[in-house]
Structure 1
Amino acid sequence: MTLLTIAIPSYNAQDYLHYCVHSLVIGGDAVEILVINDGSSDQTQAIAEDLAARYPNVRAIYQDNKGHGGAVNTGIREAKGRYFKVVDSDDWVDSRAYLKILEKLQVLEAEHTPVDAFISNFVYEKEGQSRKKSMSYQDVLPENRIFGWEDVGAFSKGQYMMMHSLIYRTDLLREVGLVLPEHTFYVDNIFVFTPLQAVQTMYYLPVDFYRYFIGRNDQSVNESVMIKRIDQQIKVNKILVDQLELDQLTNPDLRSYLLNHVEITTIISCALLNRGGTVEHMMKKQELWHYIRDNNPALFKIVRKGLLGQLTNLYGYPGRKISNAVYKIAKRIYGFN
C-alpha cells in the first residue's frame, strides 16, 4: 500500500506547479502525487502531463472546473495512500522536514499503529518579508508520541490547525463522508473541522514542513478578495455553525478546540464585514449573528458574549476604530494579507 497521497489542486498554476511538484517527488515510491487540474485555461495540463511522464509517482488528473473543494474531493476519491495530504499548487514543502515525516509514518506503519491525524508546523512565506512566521504547537501538543485529545493543552486565540499542518488517515476522511462544497473558497476550514471531530489518535512532529505562500494580490486570502467573496466566507462559517453540536461533544479538549475554531472563523467574518463597511455589509453581519442565534443558541451565547464578539459589534466612530483594531488581530490569527 502506498504510504502517502498528496493531492495538488491546480487552477491556472503554470507559474508555480513545477516548483511545488519538485519539492514533493523526493518522496519516491512511498508517495503518490496527484496533480488535479481544475479546468485550467493556461498550460497547467501540459505541465502536469510532462511531470507525470518524468516522475513515476506523479499522476495528472483533469476535471472540469469545480473549485478548490471539488479538486480535493477528487483527490480523496482517487487516493491510494494510507494517509492524505493537500498541498496547494503555489505552495511547497521543506525537503528535510518532509523526509522526517515520511520516516515517522513508515515507523508507524511498521509498528501497526496508524494514527488518525499527523500534525506538523507550517510557515507563512509572505512575499517581501525576510522574517518568516512559523505556526508551531510545541506548547500544546505532546511531541514524538501517539496521543489523544485528553493529552492536548489549551490553544491560544492565535494558534490553530490549518489544512497546511494536517495529514489525515485517508480512510477516516471517507468514513466521515467528507465532501467539500464545490465552487466555494475557504473550504479548507471544513477540511480541518469535519474530520477532527472523528479523530481519536494523533502524532505531532515539530518540524517546519509546509511553506504557505501569501502576498499575491490575486490570492483568495488577500483582504480585498476576501471582502469581495464574503458570501463564500459566510457560507463556510454557517456550515461550521451547523456542524458544531456542543452538547454531543463529551471530550472537553475536543469541544474547546472546535469551539475556538468556529469562534475565530466568525470573528474573521465579522471583521471583514466591518472592513467592507457598507450598509449591505452591516446587514450581512447582522444576518450572520441571527443565523447563529437561531441555529446554534449555545454557540451564540458563548461567541456573542465573548470579548472579540462584543468588540466586532460596537457602533459609531469609536466602534469602527476598535473594529479596525480587531481586524488587525484577525489578520495575524488567520494569516491573510
Structure 2
Amino acid sequence: MITIIVPIFNSENFLEKCLESILAQTYKDLEIILVNDGSNDRSKDICNAYAKIDSRIKLIHKNNEGVSAARNDALKVAKGEYVGFVDSDDWIDPKMYENLYKLIRSTDSDISVCGYKTRLNSSINGKIDYFTIEDNKEKINILIKNNQVGGYLWNKLFSMDIIKKNGMSLFDENIYFCEDLLYTSQLFMESKSVSVTTASYYNYITHGNNSTSYTYSKSKLTALLALQQIIDKFQDSINGGLELYKDLFMHINISLLMNGMKQKKLDKKTTLYLKKNLFRYNLLDLKSYKIKLSCLICRINLRLHYIIWNNFYGK
C-alpha cells in the first residue's frame, strides 16, 4: 500500500482538482491522508465531502501549525509500505504512483523520483530514460544539480522502511524554508539507491515569486540552518564535495543581507549573524565564480556590494 499525504491550508480554489487527480490514480491500493492545517476557507468542507465518497481517505483536522507539523501528524498514523507527498494546490498524472511503484520495486531502491511540469514546461518527455544512483556524492548533489529531481518531496516515492529505520519520520518544525531539502537529503544519503525517471508526472503550480532571493523575512533565515545541517552532517562522509550546498548557503545569505538592507528590516543581531556567515567558508570552497566574487566584495565593503546589487537587481 502507498500512503499519500496532502497537507492543506486555505486551498479551496485548487483542492478539488488535486483530490480528483489522486483518486484517479491507476494504482488503487492507496491510503490518502488529508491534513487540514487550520484552514479558514472551504477546504475543511471539501475534505469532509471527499472522505464520504472514498473510504481510502482519512482526515486530520487541526489548528494551524505549519506544513512540517501537518506532515508529521500524518506520518505518525501512516500505514503504507511507501509514502508520497502531494501539495494541495498541485495535481498528478493518473499513472504517477503506478510508475513510481514499478520503478522502486524493479530496481530494489529505497526512493523513486519522477520529473514535473509547470506552465513553462507542459509536456512529458518524448523519450523516457531511467537511471539509478548509488554513489553518495552523486545522490546528495543531484538534489541541487538536477532541477527535475530537486530537493522536493512531491515528485518522489519513499520506502517507509528507510524512514523508520533511520529515525527520520519527523520533519523539523523549526525550519520553514528548505525543510524539504533537509529531509530529502537525509533520506537520499541513507538510501542504498535512488531510481529516477525523466518522465514528468507531477504538475506543479507556481503562485508568484516567493523565492528567498527576492524578499526578506526572519523565517527565511531557517534556510541557512537547514543547509548548514546538511553540510555539517555529510561533508566528512563524502570527503567534501558539497560545494553546491555551500554556494546555495552563501547565495541565500547574501540575498537576505541585500534585501534586508533594502527593506530596512535587519536588526543588529541578524546583521551580525549574516555578516559572520560571509566568512563561514573559504572562497576556494565555493564553486560559482559569481558567488565567490559577491562574497569577496561583501567581505571587503558591504555597502559597496549593496550599491552594485541595488543597481542591477534591487529595482
Correspondence for 2:146: 159
Correspondence for 2:82: 83
Identity rate, percent: 18
Q: 1:310 aligns with which of 271, 285, 293?
A: 293
Q: 2:259 aligns with which of 275, 282, 286?
A: 275
Instruction: State the alpha-carbon separation in 2 of the partners of residues 222 and 200 from structure 1.
Output: 34
Give 5+ residue unaligned stretches, structure 2: none
Correspondence for 2:7: 9
Instruction: State the alpha-carbon separation in 2 of the partners of residues 170 and 325 from structure 1.
Output: 47
What SS is found at the alignment partner of 1:33? Answer: strand
Correspondence for 1:119: 113
Correspondence for 2:52: 53
Structure 1 residues 72-221: aligned runs within 5 Å: 72-105=71-104, 108=105, 114-125=108-119, 131-132=120-121, 143-144=129-130, 146-149=132-135, 152=138, 155=142, 159-160=146-147, 161-163=150-152, 164-178=154-168, 179-182=170-173, 185-186=176-177, 187-216=179-208
Question: Shift of the alpha carbon at 1:67?
Answer: 0.3
**Conserved 8 A contact 2:12-2:41:** yes
Correspondence for 1:128: none
Give 5+ residue unaligned stretches, structure 1: 126-130, 329-337
**Conserved 8 A contact 1:38-1:65:** yes
- Which structure shows the higher helix fraction? 1
Q: How many residues align?
A: 301
TM score, norm. by length of structure 1:
0.73
Question: Shift of the alpha carbon at 1:51?
Answer: 0.9
What SS is found at the alignment partner of 1:204? Answer: strand
**Conserved 8 A contact 1:115-1:202:** yes
One-letter code aligned to 2:201: F
TM score, norm. by length of structure 2:
0.78
CA RMSD between the two structures: 3.8
Gap change, CA 1:17 and 1:204, over 3 Å in 2: same
